[in-house]
């Protein structure tokens, strides 16, 4: 396979190119709070079973996951199934480009599903796909919470 610019600049986190144009049925395994980027800004990251990279959570995907799993409480998300897919034309920073989006785990979805994902691809074996393999014994930190149960870090409401 030919080398792409995405191969030259690997990331610890999922990006649209990692999905290789396919939808993926994934099971949420853990939610973590991590320092991301050069500025080390604290962001929420969603990890999935059999996936070596986490998805940095934005507001759009957070709302959709809450809708799909039926709970705004992130402690309820692990063990729930969602689809990750690529939406080709998403505006970010004044430019259009591909972005990962979340949807219901079936093509039919549920009442009120706004977008339908393409049929999901089977999750390949670890040696076929470096991103969606078995992350064997990776140490992913639990999402930190303050004593009152509120999330630590910036709180934008």
Q: In 3-state terms, the chain is what percent helix, strand and coil (to 5)?
A: 15, 30, 55
Domain boundaries, the chain: 5-121
> 44 is written with which tokens?
């929420």
d(CA 109, CA 111): 7
Mean pLDDT of 95-115: 73
DSSP of 98-110: EEEEEE-SSSS--
Mean pLDDT of 85-89: 95
pTM: 0.69
Task: Name which of 150, 126, 129, 147 is nearest 137 in CA terms.
Answer: 126
Mean pLDDT of 64-84: 97
Residues 123, 50 contacting (CB under 8 angstroms): yes
Mean pLDDT of 39-50: 96
Q: What is the pLDDT of residue 109?
A: 46
* Banded pLDDT at 9 (limits 50, 70, 90): confident
Q: What is the pLDDT of residue 112?
A: 37
Q: What is the pLDDT of residue 107?
A: 55
* Banded pLDDT at 156 (limits 50, 70, 90): very low
């Amino acid at each position: 396979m030919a080398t792409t610019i995405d191969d030259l600049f690997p990331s610890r986190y999922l990006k649209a190119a990692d999905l290789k144009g396919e939808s993926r049925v994934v099971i949420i395994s853990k939610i973590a709070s991590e320092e991301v980027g050069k500025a080390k800004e604290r962001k929420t990251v969603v990890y999935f079973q059999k996936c070596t990279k986490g998805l940095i959570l934005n507001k759009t995907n957070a709302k959709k996951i809450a809708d799909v799993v039926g709970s705004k409480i992130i402690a309820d998300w692990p063990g729930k199934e969602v689809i990750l897919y690529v939406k080709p034309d998403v505006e970010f920073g004044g430019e259009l480009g591909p972005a990962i989006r979340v949807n219901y785990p079936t093509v039919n979805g549920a009442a009120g599903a706004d977008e339908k994902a393409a049929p999901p691809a089977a999750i390949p074996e670890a040696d076929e796909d470096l991103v969606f393999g078995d992350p064997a014994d990776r140490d992913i930190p639990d999402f930190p919470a303050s004593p009152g149960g509120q999330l630590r870090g910036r709180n934008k409401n």
